[in-house]
Amino acid sequence: MENILQYFLTQGPFAVLFVWLFYSSRKEAADREKQLYQTIDDQNEMLKGFSSKYDIVINKLDGIEDRLPKK
């Protein structure tokens, strides 16, 4: 019994440190992942705006090409 108690007294702080470091790194990774998904969503919204503007530009260019004299 004394050997087990001595073992946990010597290894306990390292086990607690390991668990704390593991937990904090997982929490940081989850926060980073959440921020990454938010960035991706923001970029997708911006690209949707560009795609609607692109369609307008293409339609106007088609109109201009239709008005040009044919060679």
Classify residue 2 as exposed, middle or buried by CB count within 10 Å of its CB (0-12, 13-18, 19+): exposed
CB within 8 Å of 43: residues ≥ 6 apart? none
For residue 36, tell me if it sits in a domain. yes
Tens digit of pLDDT per residue, the chain (71 long)?
677 777 767 878 888 888 889 999 999 999 999 999 999 999 998 888 887 788 888 888 888 887 877 76
SS3 per-residue string spanning 40-67: HHHHHHHHHHHHHHHHHHHHHHHHHHHH
pLDDT at residue 35, rounded to an integer: 97
pLDDT at residue 71, rounded to an integer: 65
Number of domains observed in the structure of the chain? 1
Domain of 61 in residue numbering reads as 18-71
For residue 53, tell me if it sits in a domain. yes
For residue 66, tell me if it sits in a domain. yes
Q: Which two tokens stand for residue 51?
A: 């795609």
For residue 9, tell me if it sits in a domain. no
pTM of the shown model: 0.54
Q: Which two tokens stand for residue 71?
A: 């060679």
pLDDT at residue 1, rounded to an integer: 65
